[in-house]
Amino acid sequence: MSAAGGLPRTGSALAIWPALRRSGLGPGLLMLAVVTGLNIALQPDFFSGASLSGNIATFAPTILICVAQAVIVLSRELDLSLGAGVSLINCVMASLPQDKVGGPLGVMAIAILVAILLGAVNGLLVAYAGLPSLVATFATGAIWFGLALTIMPQPGGVISDAIGDRYAGTLMGIPVPLLIIAVAMTGWAILARHRSGRRIMAVGSNPQAARDAGIPLRRTKLLAYLVAWILVALGAIAISAQTLSGDPRLGTSYTLASVAAVVIGGISLGGGRGTPWGALVGALVLGLVTNVIYFAGIASSWQEFVKGLVIVAALGFMVLEGQRRA
Each residue's pLDDT tens digit, 282-320 = 999 999 998 998 888 888 777 778 777 877 877 777 667
- Kindly state the average pLDDT of the residues 64-92: 97
- Kindly state the average pLDDT of the residues 172-194: 92
- Kindly state the average pLDDT of the residues 8-16: 51
Q: What is the CATH number of the domain that holds 55?
A: 1.10.3470
DSSP-derived secondary structure for 117-133 = HHHHHHHIIIIIS---H
Answer yes or no: is pLDDT of 1 > 50: no
Please tell me the predicted confidence (pLDDT) of residue 306.
79
249 is a domain residue: yes
Are 62 and 257 contacting, i.e. CB atoms less than 8 angstroms apart? yes
289 is a domain residue: yes
- Kindly state the average pLDDT of the residues 4-15: 47
248 is a domain residue: yes
Q: Which pTM was predicted?
A: 0.89
Q: What is the pLDDT of the chain when averaged over all its residues?
A: 88
Range of the domain at 291: 25-36+44-318
User: For 230-257, how does the pLDDT look when each residue is reduced to its tens digit (9 = 90+)?
Assistant: 999 999 999 999 999 999 999 999 998 9
Nearest CA among 160, 148, 177 for reference residue 107: 160
- Kindly state the average pLDDT of the residues 157-181: 94
Please tell me the predicted confidence (pLDDT) of residue 3.
44
Please tell me the predicted confidence (pLDDT) of residue 56.
94
Instruction: Let me know how long the chain is.
Output: 326
Helices (H), the chain: 3-23, 26-42, 49-74, 82-95, 103-123, 133-151, 161-168, 176-193, 195-205, 207-212, 217-243, 254-264, 276-295, 303-325
7 is a domain residue: no
120 is a domain residue: yes
Which residue would you say has higher pLDDT here, 14 or 112?
A: 112
20 is a domain residue: no
Total domains present in the chain: 1
Are 112 and 180 contacting, i.e. CB atoms less than 8 angstroms apart? no
Please tell me the predicted confidence (pLDDT) of residue 270.
80
4 is a domain residue: no
- Kindly state the average pLDDT of the residues 208-216: 93
Please tell me the predicted confidence (pLDDT) of residue 126.
98
Are 246 and 94 contacting, i.e. CB atoms less than 8 angstroms apart? yes
Please tell me the predicted confidence (pLDDT) of residue 181.
96
Are 83 and 253 contacting, i.e. CB atoms less than 8 angstroms apart? yes
- Residue 313, judged by CB atoms within 10 A of its CB (0-12, 13-18, 19+), counts as middle
32 is a domain residue: yes
Q: What percent of the chain has pLDDT over 90?
A: 66
When pLDDT is cut at 50, 70 and 90, the band that residue 6 belongs to is very low
Q: How far apart are CA 140 and CA 82, in angstroms?
A: 10
